[in-house]
Structure formats: C-alpha cells, structure tokens
Chains A and B, each alone.
Chain A
Amino acid sequence: MTARFDATISTPLDAFEHKHLAEVHPEAWNNPESSGPYQLVIIGAGPAGLAAAREAAALGARVALIERHLIGGTCFNTGCIPSKTLIRSASVYAEMRDAARYGAQAPADIRVDFAAVMTRLRRIRSHLTATTSVRRLAASGVDVFFGHTRFESVDSLSVNGQVLKFDKALIATGARPHIPDIPGLKQAGFLTNATVFDLTELPPRLLVIGGGPLGCELAQAFQRLGSRVTIVQDLPLFLQHEERDAAQTLSDAFARDGIEVRLNTGATEVRVEGGERVVDLVSDDYRSTIRVDAILAGVGRRPNVQGLALEVAAIDYDEVRGISVDDHLRSSNPRIFAAGDVCLDGKYTDIAEESARIVVRNALLGGREQLSKLVVPWCTYTDPEIAHVGMYVREANALGIPVKTFTVPMHQNDRAVTDSEEVGFVKIHIREGSDSILGATIVSRHAGDMINEITLAMVADIGLRTLAKVIHAYPTKTDAIREAAMAYNRTRITPRVLARLHRWLAR
C-alpha cells in the first residue's frame, strides 16, 4: 500500500523560487514616492500590462505600473510558461512509452520522477522571469508599484493609500480561476491553475472538471506523467469554441492516452471519505461516482473587476464579461482603457499583449486602432495541438459570407508520415469565389508553429493563389498549407478552362 497522496500545496522555496520572487516581487521593494500626474497608469503587470508599460516607456511617456501580486501575471507564473514546461516533460514520458511506434526500444522500467519535473518547471520559470524583472522595468523608466489599487475619481487612483493622478489609465488586471458551484467542492479542496504548478507529489488519481484549453492540456500532461486522469465536460465535445473535427480528434487522442473521457457529464457533489475525494457525476439520467486523490477545477476564467472601485471612475463592467470596452478598447470613462483578459473573450497571452499595444497608441498618440482589425491566432497545446486563426465556418455562415474549406489531412503530408504523426489536418477557410483567407484551423503536432504562416498571409493579404507559389522546404509539415493552396488552384481549372487548354495543346 502506498502512502496516501499529500494534498497540501505550497511552492517549495528552493533557490529557483527565491530567484523568481526576487525578480517578480522583491520583498524589500519600496514604491516610488511620485504622485504623478502620469500620462499613463497601468493596473496589472501581466502580459498586457507589461507590453503596455514597455511600449509607453519606449515612447518616453511618464508611466506607472501597479501590480498586486507577481510581475508577469498568470501567463508567466501560473499559466502558459509553467504549463508548457510541464507538457514538454510529459511528452518525453509519452514518447518513451510509445517508443516501439518509432522502431525504438522502450525503456524497460519507466518511472516518472515528478519532483524532477517540477524542479525543472521552477528553474525555467525563474530563468524566464529575469526578462520581467522589476528592477529592469524600473531602469527602463517605468515607476513600478506593488499594492492594492482603487479608483478615487475619474482621473485618480490610490495604491495602498498613495494617490496617483493620471491623464490616461489602462486596466489590465486579467482574470482568475472560475470556481464551479459544486456542493462540497470547496470543503473537499481542489487545485486550480494558480496552485497546480506548486504540486510536489503526483496525484495518483486526478479528476479534471472542465474541458477548456487549460483543462485539456493539464489532463493530458498529468495522464502522461502517470496520474489516472478522468476529465468531465458538460458538453458533447472539448474546446467548445473550436470546430467539431478538431475537438473530435482531441477526444480520440485522449482516449488513446488512456484518459477517461466523460463528455456531456457534470459533477453534482463532492465529499471526502477516508482521505479520498468522492465525486458524483451525472450525464442526463446516468449517475455514477468516482474516487480520486485530487480535483483540478477552476480552469475557466473570470475577469478581475472586484475591489477596484470601478464605479467611482464611472467604468461600466459585468462580473462575467468584464469591463465593457469599444472597438478602440476605451471604457465608458474616455480616459480609461482596458486590455487583455479583463475585457476580452479570447483569453490568450498574444491577444492580451497586442490589445495593450493598441491601447498605448490610442491613449497616448490619439490613434484610432481597432481591436476587430487584429488577426490573432491561438493554440491549445495538447498532443496534437489545436491552432486557429481568423473566422470559423459557423461565424462566416452567420455573417452570410459564402465559405469554402480546403482540407488536407496530415496523413497526406510526407513529413507527418515519416514522423508517425499523421493525426490532424490543415483546414483553410476562404471566401468562396475568391482566394481570400477568412481563417484556418490546424490540428497537428506543432500546429501552433504552423498557424503563423496563415496569420502572416492574412495580415499581408496574401491569398491561396500566392501561397501556392511559395516553395516550402521538403519534407516539412507546413507543406500541408501549400498543398491546400494547390488544391485551390486545381479548382480553378474548370471544364471550360480545361477544354481551352486541350485545344491549345492540340494545336
């Protein structure tokens, strides 16, 4: 009998963690004494806040950046960076077990050293946070404040009681885990993205509640690290915003990994019995109970709008949707803007950063840049990865735009076959009757890298006809994109064109 899983969570304060904290929230930090007025005050030092601070400082603006907790926000501390680090370790174990697939010998005894995985995670997080060092920010001309913020008027706020005047402000407070309202969950204890990366011991049995991007990524990573993972999702498929075939491919991949997939299923009650967490599940009329050692919940996100006294500054907001902004990211108070997770539906680091840069240009330079003009890709880093840019077919249909999709399954791509990675596809959606790209979904290992080519084409207004002319190194997976473009070219050879061609060749 193995010892019971230790469910207490606290980050081991090792050398990496000390370095990390010294960079992102030094204990001895003294807030600047300045009271402004600032040309731009930024609340929140996550990806959006940092991008804005750097951009504004580079322009020579007088700028203040206020952070409540850690510089770097969710992405660096409890989001993208630690999760991708963990996923890489997990994929190594998956490949070891699957070695025979590549004609390689699987190690006889594969034992997961979870402590080593998490040490690597903290080392890499600490290494990368050097780029978001508080001192470096301060040296670049940003006044960095730590503390709690609340608005005092339409053009002032306070940090731990110290009042700062501003001409313009940017709210970039991000989002926090949304805890589902399941009876007994809070009492039983659970992990969120904010705590899961502090685990030092692998939970033997893990229940993941919710099939959004982070839930899917972590479910697969923990399964591959040796947990027996069950994932429940109260919908027919994972990743509800992605297209059906992408989500279906992911469901199949999960099943292959041995994850217990429970779709159309919700958790109704949690209780603790003999140190185990006992969870009641329901799918329509089918009820069941599972026993696990840990529960990962709260992988959905809610905007951080509380405690800021937004009403005092006449800023409209909603607890679920966040701060209301127009297409220029301006709130109901014309001096105050918002960017990133606190106001956007797409809660991704790249969108957060880019929206913040727009705010800087609109707020400080009188720009009229629009969020809706951005072409933003995103990716869920499961295996296979699921990446998307632009419109979905259903969105085009809803707008009455005739849409046609050029699909290339990865099993038609030589490199995918040589790598035994045939799962997935490239789908490029075009406006029918033209070669203009509306959007694309790529499902494949490294889809996140592949999607960038489509994004480039969309931003540069390059259509499929031109993409078909771009020679791709052979054999590469991105060649599947050119293959889709060439399929488009073939559809231009109508019977009439073909007849003319035949006549000409037969001269």
Chain B
Amino acid sequence: MPDLCSLPDDALLDRLQRGAFGYFVETMNPLNGLIPDTSRENSPVSIAVVGFALSAYPVAVERGWMERAEAVRRTLLALRFFSDSDQSGSPTATGYKGFYYHFLDIHSGARVWQSELSMIDSALLIAGMLTAATYFTGAGADENELRELADLLYRRVDWRWSQDGGGTIRQGWKPESGFLHYGWEGYSEAIVLYALALGSPTHPISDDCYPAWTATYQWENLYGQDFLYAGPLFVHQFSQAWIDLRGIRDHFMREKHSDYFENSRRAVFVQRKYTQLNPNEFVGYDENCWGLSACDGPSDEQPQVQNERRRLFGYAARGVPYGPDDGTLSPPSVLASLPFAPDLALAALRNMLLRYPHLLSHDRLTTSFNATLVDRDGQPWMSPGHYGLDQGIVLMMIENHRSESIWQLLHGCDYLADGLRLAGFTGGWLQATTTGAMPR
C-alpha cells in the first residue's frame, strides 16, 4: 500500500466504491437481508445501514458488480422482512407506527440495546426502499412485488404521530418511556426526513412543521464563509446522498441566496480552516487532513497523552468549531464531501492515505483514527473494523460525483419531489418535474 494512491482519480474512486459495496455483500444476513451496523462480531443491525444497502444495489447493477436478479432478491429479502416484522411497538418488536427501532438483532430482527424508535434512521431506511422502488421498474413479478412492498412500507409510516402534537418531528420514542423528551434544534441531516414526512399521501406531518424546524437555523459568517451552521460534516452530507439539492431552494436558502449543496461546499472550507488553525494542537491536523464528524473514538480508556488532561470520546458527533474535538478524524466524511468539493476532498484523501496507510483495509476506510494517540510502535489509534454507515455514504457520494445517477433517479420519485415542494423548495430540477399524482 498504498498502490491505490498511484491510481488516477477515477480508478481510485472505483476501487473505493466497489470496496464499500463489498461491505453490504459480505455482511448481509442471507435469511432476512439485514445488514449489521459494523463488521465487528455480534454487531446488531442498524436500520439506516439497511437503507444505504437498498440504495447501493441499483448502483451495483448499473456498474456491473451485481446481477439485477440478485440485487432484486436481496432487496426483496429486506422488504419482506420489514413487511412481516412485528409492528406492535412492544419492547422486543421491530417497529411501531411504520417506524423501526434503531438497532435490531440480526437474526430475529427484534429490538436490541433498548434502542429508540428512530425517526431519522427510519427515514434513511425508507429512502433506501424508495430508491429501490424507483430503480427496479421491471415488469416481472419480483420487481412488481418489490415496488408494492416499498410503497406499502412508506405509506404505513405515521409521520404525523411522530410530531407528538408538537411543532417539529421528535427524535425518537421508546416503549418504556414514550417520546424522547427533547427535539432537534438547528440545521441537521433531517431534510430527507422532512421531505418524506411531507410527501406522504397517508400520514403527512402538518404544513407548519418544516418552517418550525428551519426557524432554529443559524446563518453564520465563520472563517470568512457565510453558511448555515452545523458542526459535524455528516449533517452536511446525509440528505444529499439521495436528494439533489443543487439549485433548488427553500424559503431560508432563497433568502440567503444560497442552496444546501453550496452550503455543504462551504462546510468543507470551514473544516479545512479549522484543522489548519488546529486550536487544540492535535497531531496530523492541517488543511489536507480534516473530517470532524460522527464517528467512533478512542474513549476514555486510553492512556493519558503528553501529561495533559485530554478528554476522549467514544462514538460521538465531532464538529467544528465548537467541538467536541479529541483529535479523532473520520476519513469517510472526507470522501463523502466529494460531490461538493471534489478537488479538496481528493487532495485530503490522498494525503491522509499516504500518511496513514492503515486507514484502508479491504479497500474500505476505517471510520476514524486519532494520530495524537499512538501505540508503542508509533501507530495512530484506529477504530477496528468498518461501519456500514460510512460505506453507504461513501458509495453513494462517489456515485453522485461520478455519474449523478442516484440524484437523477430520485428526481423521478414523486413522494420526495412532492415533499420538497411542500417544504417550499422551488427552482432547478423541481421546476422541470411535474407534481406527483397523489391526491392530498
């Protein structure tokens, strides 16, 4: 290694994208189509990772990495599982009101870790289902069933219930204690959630829900960039794995003469500036080594560093400029910035791979590393194994960078387009597509 780095950009990206896809192929439970959260032993299923897998199959078919029939078979396994799953909302069920618990047992599909019924993770799963349904438009029985199941599973989600009578969508719900009693404040990865929830022909959220959420936005000038602030990079990426937010604008972005795609580009500049300033003097940080985002971390069990008290975190959403920042960076979040700032993302990725070759194994990026924490051999701390979320976002963002095919595909998803329109988005490709047929 890294012979990868000697490859030209497109060949490098092809290897990384295919490596990412391999995660889904290798880790899927062949009996139910579910995908584990991480490659570690006994990892439960993360429903969001399943959403990424369902979105990845069409890409693999287009790239010739998987037969269409096999992709349909895998997709149907998962859709049938969710369709038949226990929706009673009991502490060991799979879901409730069309939503699903965040983490499930990979064999039984029952809730584990007392996890919450997660609105955002359910939305990412549903987005994957709709991606599959929009792609697999064949006339055969399997593809017909696939579309019917995806439609049914989307339509049964009771988005309105998730407002709990309030102004915005709640973060989660637990059978033991009801809705998590705190909501979301500020810009987050939830645009896809709101678009799906608004576009629902059956149980949409109320019309004032999206403005209520965006009312908590902060428009900031930071390091010379005017941008809609969010600290961790993934916030600027996740919705745009599916939704083409180039040139379409909601009320907020119209007022600011920007759009969410441009905003994600500026978020890259802010990250670069922060790591260049490196206020906490962490090892490795510079303008070509960044990526503060949600990722695994070394946690507090690690030895003290340089006689100075440093606080280490486990899995946490690291962000700029207010932290938390413990010296841990997420290489996948750099690669996922590719559509927004291709030159900067590639320059950083190549630099990081040259400097820390062990970031890559099986052509897959580790979720995180910390160069300030080194072992006896001088090797940086590295999160073991791989995370499904990383592989999913990397695969989709490389695809959107290379061909824009996921974005183009979902221009044709009426539910999403309707949801975006109801959120007040106008212009760009939305102008060119017609309103969906669903009566409201």
Is B311 a contact of A405 with CB atoms below 8 Å? no
- Beta-carbon nearest neighbor of B321 in chain A: A409
Q: Please determine whether B182 and A235 come into contact, CB atoms closer than 8 angstroms.
A: yes
Bound CA span A488–B181, Å? 38
Interface residues of B in 176-224 (CB under 8 A from A): 176-177, 180-182, 185-186, 215-222, 224
How many angstroms from the CA of A50 to the CA of B8 in the assembled complex? 77
Pairwise interchain contact B220-A100, C-beta atoms closer than 8 A: no
Q: In this complex, what residue of B is CB-closest to A97? A: B309
B322 & A248 in contact (Cβ 8 Å cutoff): yes
Residue ID in chain B nearest A412 by CB atoms: B277
Q: Is B144 an interface residue (CB 8 A)?
A: no
The residue in chain A whose Cβ has the minimal distance to the Cβ of B186 is: A244
Contact B180 A403 (CB under 8 A): no
CB within 8 Å for A487 and B311 given contacts A284-B174, A393-B218, A402-B255:
no
Q: Is the C-beta of B385 less than 8 angstroms from some C-beta in chain A?
A: no
Question: Is the Cβ of A256 less than 8 Å from the Cβ of B309?
Answer: yes
Whether B224 lies near A407 (C-beta < 8 A) is: no
Inter-subunit contact B308/A100 (CB<8 Å) = yes
CB pair B311 A255 closer than 8 Å: yes
Q: Check B182 against A406 for contact (C-beta < 8 Å).
A: no
Chain A residue nearest in CB terms to B222: A407
Kindly state whether residue A422 has any CB partner on chain B within 8 Å. Answer: yes
Chain B nearest Cβ from A223, distance in angstroms: 14
Q: Is the CB of B215 within 8 A of A491?
A: no
Bound CA–CA A54/B255 (angstroms): 50
> Who on chain B is nearest to A406 by CB?
B221
Interface residue tally on B, bucketed by range: 20 to 34
Which chain B residues border A101 with CB–CB below 8 Å? Answer: 308
Chain A residues, Cβ within 8 Å of B321: 407, 409, 411, 425
Out of B114, B177, B279, which one reaches A422, CB within 8 Å?
A: B279
Kindly state the interface size class of chain A when it binds its partner.
35 or more
Q: Does B14 contact A (CB under 8 A)?
A: no
Say how far B410's CB is from chain A's closest CB, in angstroms: 30
A488 touches B322 (CB 8 A): no
Interface residues of B in 272-318 (CB under 8 A from A): 277, 279-280, 307-309, 311
Q: Report the Cα distance A284→B173, complex, angstroms.
A: 9
Instruction: Select which of B114, B182, B279, B323 is within 8 A of A285 by beta carbon.
Output: B114
- A252 with B323, Cβ < 8 A, contacts A244-B186, A397-B215 known: yes
Contacts of B219 in A (CB 8 A): 403-405, 432
Give the contacting residue for B220; candidates A244, A264, A404, A422; CB below 8 A.
Answer: A404
Contacts of B151 in A (CB 8 A): none
**Chain B residues closer than 8 Å to A255, beta-carbon distance:** 311
Whole-angstrom distance between the alpha carbons of A378 and B399 in the complex?
50
Cα separation A368 to B215 with both chains bound (whole Å): 34
Q: Does B226 contact A (CB under 8 A)?
A: yes
With an 8 A cutoff between CB atoms, is B324 at the interface? yes
CA–CA, A248 and B311, complex, Å: 15
CA distance A245 to B177 in the complex (A): 28
Given contacts A244-B186, A245-B322, A256-B311, contact A285 B216 (CB under 8 A): no
Cβ contact of B216, chosen from A284, A397, A405, cutoff 8 A = A397
Which residues of chain B come closer than 8 Å to A235, judged between CB atoms?
Answer: 182
Verify B221–A284 contact, CB threshold 8 A.
no
Report the bound CA distance from A236 to B221 in whole Å. 26
Q: Which residues of A lie under 8 Å from residue B221 when comparing CB positions?
A: 404-407, 487-488, 491
Residue of A nearest to B176 (CB): A285
Find the B residue at minimum CB distance from A404.
B219
> Cβ of A321 < 8 Å from any Cβ of B?
no
Contact with B along A224-253 (1 / 0, CB 8 A): 000000000001100000011100110010
| Minimum C-beta distance from A108 to chain B (A) | 15
Query: What is the CA–CA distance of A284 and B182 in the complex, to the nearest angstrom?
Result: 10
- In the complex, residue of chain B having the shortest beta-carbon distance to the beta carbon of A282: B177
Query: Does A69 touch B at the CB level, under 8 Å?
Result: no
Closest residue of A by beta carbon distance from B183? A236
Cα separation A91 to B221 with both chains bound (whole Å): 33
> Does A411 lie within 8 Å of B215, measured CB to CB?
no
Of A284, A406, A409, the contact of B181 (CB 8 Å cutoff): A284
Q: How far is the CA of A236 from the CA of B324 in the complex (A)?
A: 16
Q: How far is the CA of A264 from the CA of B183 in the complex (A)?
A: 11
**Chain B positions within 8 Å of A490 at CB level:** 224
The answer, yes or no, to whether A28 is at the interface (CB within 8 Å) is no
Chain A neighbourhood of B218, CB < 8 A: 243, 393, 405
Question: Which residues of chain B are near A110, meaning CB under 8 Å?
Answer: none
User: From A422, which residue of chain B is reached at the shortest CB distance?
Assistant: B279
Which residues of chain B are near A248, meaning CB under 8 Å? 322-323
Measured CB to CB, the nearest residue on chain B to A411 is B279
Q: Is the CB of A284 within 8 A of B308?
A: no
A394 on interface, CB distance cutoff 8 Å? yes
Write out the residue numbers on chain A whose beta carbons fall within 8 Å of the beta carbon of B216: 394, 397
Once bound together, how far apart are the Cα atoms of A398 and B311, in whole Å? 37
Set of chain B residues within 8 Å of A245, measured between Cβ atoms: 322
Rounded to whole Å, the gap between the CB of A232 and the closest CB of chain B is 14
Give the chain B neighbours of A432 by CB distance below 8 A. 219
Contact yes or no, A404 B174, CB < 8 A = no
Q: A393: which B residues are within 8 A, CB to CB?
A: 218
**A residues less than 8 Å from B220 (CB atoms):** 404-407, 427
Residues A491 and B176 in contact, CB atoms below 8 Å apart: no
Closest residue of chain A to B221 (Cβ to Cβ) is A406
Chain A residues near B311: list those with CB within 8 A.
Answer: 252, 255-256
Q: Are B185 and A264 in touch, CB under 8 angstroms?
A: no
Q: In A446-464, which residues have CB < 8 Å from any B CB?
A: none
Task: Give Cα A403 to B229, complex, Å.
Answer: 13
| A404 vs chain B, min Cβ distance (A) | 5
Closest 5 CB pairs of A and B: A411-B279, A285-B176, A236-B182, A285-B177, A405-B220
Name 19 interchain pairs, CB-CB below 8 A, sorted by A.
A100-B307, A235-B182, A255-B311, A256-B311, A284-B174, A284-B181, A393-B218, A394-B215, A397-B215, A404-B221, A407-B221, A407-B222, A409-B222, A409-B279, A409-B321, A411-B277, A411-B321, A425-B322, A488-B221
Interface residues of B (CB under 8 A from A): 114, 174, 176-177, 180-182, 185-186, 215-222, 224, 226, 229, 255, 277, 279-280, 307-309, 311, 321-324
- Further 9 A-B residue pairs, CB within 8 A, beyond A245-B322, A398-B215, A425-B322: A244-B186, A248-B322, A284-B181, A394-B215, A397-B215, A407-B221, A409-B222, A409-B279, A422-B279
